[in-house]
A = this chain, B = another copy of it.
Amino acid sequence: MFHKQIIITGAGLVGSLLAIYLRRKGYSVSIYERRGDMRKEAVEAGRSINLALSDRGIKALREVGIADAVLEIAIPMHGRHLHQPDGTHAFQPYGKEGQYINSVSRRELNCTLMDLAEREGVVLNFGHACTGVDWKTNTISFAAQGSAETRQFDLLFGADGAYSATRLAHMLQHQKFEYQQHYIDCGYKELSIPAGPGGSFLLEKNALHIWPRGNYMLIALPNLDGTFTGTLFFPFEGETSFEKLTTKEAVTDFFARTFPDVVPLVPDLEDQFFRNPTASLVTVKCFPWVREDKFSLIGDAAHAIVPFFGQGMNAGFEDCSVLAGLVEQHGEDWGTILQQFQELRKPDADAIADLAVNNFTEMRSRTADPKFLLQKKIEAWLHEQHPDQWIPAYSQVTFSPQIRYSEALRNMLRQEAIMQEVMQEPGIESNWQKEEVAARIISMKSQAT
């Protein structure tokens, strides 16, 4: 028993965490990573979006005993700090008092997870790009420094991200593989905001900053050293788009008109704009994720999503937690474990993919609308008055790991329909805090259930 050789492709966040979980169950685990070791080498710069670690991810980290260590290198963000088009500011809390999400550097977290995996006895191999899988002989091939290598596995996990090579090997040899990849019409570009004197924060530290501008937006998340990682989400093509901003003058002019308060914060704005790559954002949905008792996709490789709900990593970590729970339940019966894993997780992965696309609209456009901000205020108040009967969708996804993503999506649609009605009521702006209003909304909800 427990003599299975497990190979994981990808030493990213999910691959590293999964390795720790499986090692703890007693398996021999090797990771093969296409890139070099980011703990020793410079990584691709200029295309990171900071991570927002929240309760689902924390739950998984807690299960392997490193939640506290990770939270020490994280910065709490209690809500959205909105930089409105008219120059005013607004603050929208993420949840109740004491609820927050955590800005974490991808690199720091990934290095921490790799270190821990190695300490647990996981073997990490870098510079190994998967070139194919032979599903009959259970062997995986790699290109490693120009030469071809082959490894045998009993169990293979594809944790190799949105552009997964193992998924491709799976897809190309599958009879009826459901697959879709869809790129949203916006790309993104990192724009780093430096620290002030003595490592001070030039924007409010404990918030996620958003400059909502309709069909595009800028966001910024804090780092420990006082800098902010800014990201511009912006159309590739059209009137106002990357394809139009081709000169230094155009960039200067655009930022001065659209994000005037950002300009003094980023002295090398134009340099960064042209130096940093423009990256694209893809949603991948596929099925099945697994092959018999010997292969599963996991994390982004199974369900790449856009970053607008801050749930990509959290969903991947939750995958690991759910899988570990199934191992607890079914021991070495990997056929059952993998089958149940995909049955449980596929609807949740589809749901968070849709929620994430939906949240882009909310962030870039609706947060600039006073009526929308009022709606969120009413919902927060309802949640305080009736904590179990009204949980705002954001809170369900972010702070309620006991609610499945698929449930959260259904609840969101129901609650949003009710709130649309409520927001039409004459006088709602002034009388929303009345007891009877809350009572009526709660009763609409129970009728809709």
Contacts and interface: CB of A to CB of B under 8 A. Distances in A.
A245 to B, nearest CB: 18
A178 B182 CA distance: 5
A52 B168 CA distance: 35
A236 B280 CA distance: 37
Interface in A243-257: none
A449 interface: no
Contacts of A168: 172
A362 B198 CA distance: 72
A280 B174 CA distance: 12
Interface string A230-251: 0000001000000000000000
Q: How many copies does the complex hold?
A: 2
A131 B178 CA distance: 23
Contacts of A178: 181-183
Contacts of A177: 181, 183
A151 interface: no
B179 A280 contact: no
Nearest to A163: B172
Interface string A313-350: 00000000000000000000000000000000000000
17 contacts: A168-B172, A175-B280, A176-B183, A176-B236, A176-B280, A176-B282, A177-B181, A177-B183, A178-B181, A178-B182, A178-B183, A179-B179, A179-B180, A179-B181, A180-B180, A180-B181, A180-B182
| Top 10 closest pairs, chain A to chain B, by CB | A180-B180, A176-B183, A176-B280, A179-B181, A178-B182, A175-B280, A178-B183, A179-B180, A177-B181, A178-B181
